Chain A
Amino acid sequence: MALAFRNTLRAARSLMVRGYAEAAPAIKEGEMALTLAAGNKVFYNKVAVKQIDVPSFSGAFGILPKHVPTLAVLKPGVVTVYESDGKQAKIFVSSGTITVNEDSSVQVLAEEAHPVESLDRSAAQEALSKAQSEYNSAGNEKAKAEAAIAVEVAEEIVKAAS
């Protein structure tokens, strides 16, 4: 009985042998791991890219590997991603945050993000004129400020969609 138990234990132990964790996908020199996600979609999940240009409240800036660690708040606009195969992807972000870490990994987290190809210029123009009329007829300071934000965002979308 005891022997049988010991044998079972040994068998169980041999099943629990630990191996090395699977190596993380290697990030080559001159590239960095990008995570770009929004409430509606995950665009990149730790994908190696060459460069990222982002619009932020502290100005639009480009990120290359070995960038100094940074935190910034996104401004509505186009994020350009230079992929490792040389392709460029343009994604419009509404707002959110950008984080650049010490190990060169970058996180762009947006509330809403869509490829510029999904933007509709005429719909954006419609939203712009609606926002402008709301701005002119706003009753209080808060409504006026909200309409001003809408105007700013719609203008950016019109620019990006052309």
Chain B
Amino acid sequence: MSAWRQAGLNYINYSSVAAQILRRSLKPEFRADALKRDASHVRITPWADGKPAAKAQQAK
């Protein structure tokens, strides 16, 4: 078993690390555009009894 599997990572985690490194290793003219794909934003609002139970949290 590979070391990252042993550490509790899965292939999705592996893939995102690999993609991130590749984006950083591009020629400057392609890099700026590629780095925009690094970030992702998810807003989570927990609900209880049909109402939002807490304010929206910004997840990474």
Which A residues are closer than 8 A to B by beta carbons? 39-40, 73, 76, 92, 94-96, 111-112, 114, 118-120, 123-124, 127, 131, 141-142, 144-146, 148-150, 153-154, 157, 161
A40 to B20, CA, bound (A): 12
Chain B residues bordering chain A, tally (CB within 8 A)? 27
Mark contacts of B1-15 with chain A using CB atoms, 8 A cut-off: 1 yes-contact digit, 0 otherwise.
001101111010111
Tell me the dominant secondary structure on chain B's binding face. Answer: helix
Are B14 and A40 in contact, with the CB atoms below 8 A? no
Tell me the dominant secondary structure on chain A's binding face. Answer: helix
Known: A40-B34, A40-B37, A146-B13. A76 touches B18 (CB 8 A): yes
CB distance from B15 to the nearest CB of A (A): 4
A144 to B7, CA, bound (A): 9
Known: A142-B8, A142-B9, A145-B3. A157 touches B21 (CB 8 A): yes
Q: Collect the chain A residues with CB atoms within 8 Å of residue B13's CB.
A: 146
